[in-house]
């Protein structure tokens, strides 16, 4: 996999002083290739006896990384230096995966070899079918997927010596290859249909669509418009720097656990509605709005969104990182229109409602001033519904795409000579030490 990039020491230093005149400290500053520099506070506690406090890690870099760069103010997302807008148009998902894992885009031979390697690892052990039967049919796909990914370590323990780069590479390929098979199995189980085995002559995304929607009764033909749309969704979700689930994978992996366990932890974190569940929440909002009267009631809904006391939230708009337009959303917006047109769904009431809401958000001063633009979740939810993917499965599709980012970030951490087990500190605000009174005196 990709070689490490050493951190670059700045000529500048940071000095910490205290207003009461107590001992201060000086810290080195490191510069990134682009983006903010960092103050290295590793010796802060040793020098001052204090920790920093940063809930939500709003100003803390927990690692150095050369994989993904985001500039939220500019609305910029780069994988290994390449803008997402170019990758989503010029590359497919497996090319993008190769780039994220190896640091450079593949040439024609490398691309063919990588595709062959991934394609020939897509089958999963037959025993996993029996594992699935332990779940209720109506179990949330993310509950099923968390279990299935964690269970992989029981089947592939031949390659989980994480100190060996070759083992890490084999585990990465296995996870990327098998994730679509697991997601499709979780879906088929929930609808009571037989599992469909992967086919080696289809593309990564075409294969996934066939495993999802084929039945033994008739041959499934992959629609190229839908295949390209879903492939683009995969590319746009492949990595997103140090977000909650990626940080979870790194923290879990820092204990030296096997990669399957670390990725299962990432899947569990992604499940939350504030993270991967956002597109599910966005579509649920649209469905609720449709049931309440649709386009005719849009004015009332928007008025409630603007009223802080109403408790009504606009889902699928704005982003914690992007203070401008989400660069992924623009690409997804085009894909959304292509898919609706290809499937003749422009007049579907839910999609008409979504487009009407989008128009208001892009033109209404309230939303424009607050930069509440539609984000990638808003459009990807609409596209997935049009394709026929049930809302409950959206986050599992996200997990499928993000697996390559998770495994690349995990590998980068394990390869880093500075890596240590993650151990955040705290500001303790509970009771000081006290004696336990006898039972009769409490």
Query: In the predicted model, what is the mean pLDDT of residues 319-346?
Result: 83
Q: In this predicted model, which residue has the larger pLDDT, 174 or 23? A: 174
Query: Which residue's structure tokens are 């089958």?
Result: 123
Phi-psi region at 160: left, alpha or beta (left = phi > 0; alpha = psi -120 to 50): alpha
Laid out side by side, the sheet with 38-39 consists of: 8-16, 25-31, 38-39
pLDDT averaged over every residue in the chain: 90
In tens, the pLDDT along 181-210 reads: 999 999 999 999 999 999 999 999 999 999
| Catalytic entry in 231, 239, 240, 319 | 319
Q: Residue 273 has which token pair?
A: 């509605």
Distance between CA atoms of residues 50 and 171, nearest Å: 40
- Please name every residue paired with 15 in a beta bridge, in sequence order, or none if there are none: 26
Distance between CA atoms of residues 400 and 395, nearest Å: 9
Q: Residue 222 has which token pair?
A: 């992959």
Q: Say yes or no to pLDDT of 22 above 70.
A: yes
Q: What percent of the chain has pLDDT over 70?
A: 98
Distance between CA atoms of residues 207 and 117, nearest Å: 15
Helices 298-306 and 349-363 pack at an angle, to 10 degrees, of 40
Query: In the predicted model, what is the mean pLDDT of residues 166-186?
Result: 94
Laid out side by side, the sheet with 82-83 consists of: 68-71, 76-79, 82-83
In tens, the pLDDT along 276-320 reads: 677 777 888 888 889 888 888 888 888 888 888 888 888 888 777
Query: Which residue's structure tokens are 């929930």?
Result: 190
- Is the CB of residue 44 less than 8 Å from the CB of residue 50? yes
Active-site residue, 377 included: yes
- Is the CB of residue 174 less than 8 Å from the CB of residue 122? no
Distance between CA atoms of residues 183 and 187, nearest Å: 6
Return phi, psi of residue 142, to 5°: -70, -30
Query: In the predicted model, what is the mean pLDDT of residues 135-161?
Result: 87
In tens, the pLDDT along 203-251 reads: 999 999 999 999 999 889 999 999 999 999 999 999 999 999 999 999 9
| Catalytic entry in 231, 239, 377, 411 | 377
For residue 315, the model assigns a pLDDT of 82
Distance between CA atoms of residues 386 and 378, nearest Å: 13
Active-site residue, 319 included: yes
């Amino acid at each position: 996999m990709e070689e490490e990039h050493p951190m670059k020491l700045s000529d500048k230093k940071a000095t910490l002083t205290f207003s009461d005149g107590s001992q201060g400290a000086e810290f080195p500053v490191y510069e990134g290739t682009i983006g903010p520099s960092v103050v290295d506070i590793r010796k802060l506690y040793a020098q001052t006896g204090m920790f920093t406090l940063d809930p939500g890690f709003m100003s803390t870099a927990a690692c150095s990384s050369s994989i993904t760069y985001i500039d939220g103010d500019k609305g910029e997302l780069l994988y290994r230096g390449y803008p997402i807008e170019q990758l989503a148009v010029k590359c497919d998902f497996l090319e993008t995966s190769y780039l994220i894992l190896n640091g450079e885009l593949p040439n024609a031979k490398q691309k063919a070899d990588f595709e062959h390697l991934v394609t020939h690892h897509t089958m999963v052990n037959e025993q996993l079918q029996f594992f699935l039967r332990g779940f209720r049919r109506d179990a949330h796909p993310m509950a099923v997927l968390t279990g299935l990914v964690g269970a992989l370590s029981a089947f592939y323990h031949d390659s989980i010596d994480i100190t060996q780069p070759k083992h890490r590479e084999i585990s990465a390929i296995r996870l990327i290859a098998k994730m679509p098979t697991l997601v499709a199995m979780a879906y088929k189980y929930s609808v009571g249909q037989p599992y469909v085995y992967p086919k080696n002559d289809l593309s990564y995304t075409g294969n996934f669509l066939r495993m999802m929607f084929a039945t033994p009764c008739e041959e499934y033909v992959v629609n190229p418009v839908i295949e390209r749309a879903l492939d683009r969704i995969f590319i746009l979700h492949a990595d997103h720097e140090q977000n909650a689930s990626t940080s979870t994978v790194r923290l879990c992996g820092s204990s030296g656990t096997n990669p399957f366990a670390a990725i299962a932890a990432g899947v569990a974190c992604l499940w939350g509605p504030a993270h991967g569940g956002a597109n599910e929440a966005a579509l649920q909002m649209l469905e609720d709005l449709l049931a309440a009267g649709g386009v005719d009631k849009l004015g009332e809904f928007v008025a409630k969104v603007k009223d802080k006391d109403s408790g009504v939230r606009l889902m699928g708009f704005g982003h914690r990182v992007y203070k401008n337009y989400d660069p992924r959303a623009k690409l997804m917006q085009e894909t959304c229109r292509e898919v609706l047109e290809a499937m003749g769904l422009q007049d579907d009431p839910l999609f008409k409602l979504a487009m009407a809401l989008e128009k208001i958000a892009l033109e209404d001063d309230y939303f424009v001033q607050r930069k509440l633009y539609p984000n990638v979740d808003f459009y990807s939810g609409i596209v997935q519904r049009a394709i026929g993917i049930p809302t409950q499965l959206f986050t599992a599709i996200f997990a499928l795409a993000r697996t390559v980012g998770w495994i690349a970030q995990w590998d980068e951490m394990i390869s880093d000579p500075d890596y240590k087990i993650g151990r955040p500190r705290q500001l303790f605000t509970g009771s000081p030490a006290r004696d336990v009174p006898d039972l009769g005196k409490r």
